[in-house]
Amino acid sequence: MDLAVLKWFEGIRSPFLDKIMSVITYAGSEVAAVGLICVAYWCLSRRFGDRMLLTMMSGLLINQLLKILFVVRRPWIRYEGEYKPVDSALADATGYSFPSGHTANAAAAYGGLAHEKGVKWYWRLPAWLLVALVGISRMYLGVHTPQDVLVSLVISVVLIFAMDRLTAWLEEHPKADVWVMVCVALLGAATLLVALLRTFPEGDTQETINTNTADIFKMIGAIGGMAAGWLMERRLVKFEKPARFIHTILRAVCGLIIVLALLKLTKSLFNSLLGEQAGGIARYFVTCFAALFAWPWCFVKLEERLK
């Protein structure tokens, strides 16, 4: 069935649709999804930001753990010669195929936004529609199968509701956040251990293995930075929703510039100092730690001076 669906999408492609689907699929990229979640965390209610953040963290962990456990090759490799993916989508289609990371990112960001209490139906509907379109775009571009997308979507929906309950529980037991981070650390360590000890299928060269596992090492760094930054912010900063609109704009714009700059400009530095795997861990740890602790600490101090 997977191949039949991919061939059907291949048959309806056109240059115009290729461009449209490439734009839609970008909505599920780590930059777009993490950017939205960062803005929610910095600028909206703490409970909302915490829930979206916990959904993203747990989704990343489960997604990468499943990828390294099942080691499913991308569909154009499995069905070599049967169909052709869109060339422009290949650069962003790294790592193993199952489940879909873009779909998980979109569900955590836009599905999480739609699930927030008080959000009207006319916002919920387009948010979930965007999640569905991201999944469809991954199949249209030929970089994921229906199985990849559907499993990722189901896991993400379950996590959204589960993290809603967890966030409510943390409001009643704020000191229990350390145990949440212990669970995150253990799951992250298990994923890293599997990645290091996993026996890969015959025919995979070391270069192929390194390419396909690079996302896992980056995820380990991101989760570590998120967990450490989130916990330290809760204990040492405890920022509140901005009281003035101009502060909201400054938090969002300056924060996104800082995060994107760290993510893009430190790649060559960390990779040259530590190698690609350790460099990926370090780069994503620093970026996520800055987003969740360093930048909130900075804007709280700046806003205190502006009062």
Q: Taking Cα atoms as reference points, which of 31, 58, 103, 63 lies closest to residue 111?
A: 103
- Dump pLDDT digits (tens) for 269-307: 888 888 888 888 899 999 999 999 999 999 888 877 766
pLDDT value for 155: 93
- Please enumerate in sequence order all residues whose Cβ is within 8 A of that of 230, keeping only pairs 6 or more positions apart, or say none: 50, 53, 177, 181, 292, 293
Amino acid occupying residue 263: L
pLDDT value for 22: 94
Low-confidence spans in the chain with pLDDT less than 70 = 201-212, 306-307
Secondary-structure breakdown of the chain: helix, strand, coil percentages, each rounded to the nearest 5: 80, 0, 20
- Dump pLDDT digits (tens) for 257-277: 999 899 888 888 888 888 888
Report the first-to-last Cα separation within the chain, whole angstroms: 61
pLDDT value for 212: 67
Q: CA 37, CA 33: separation in Å to the nearest integer?
A: 6
- Please enumerate in sequence order all residues whose Cβ is within 8 A of that of 155, keeping only pairs 6 or more positions apart, or say none: 59, 62, 63, 99, 104
Amino acid occupying residue 58: S
pLDDT value for 304: 77
pLDDT value for 73: 86
pLDDT value for 205: 64
pLDDT value for 206: 65
pLDDT value for 204: 67
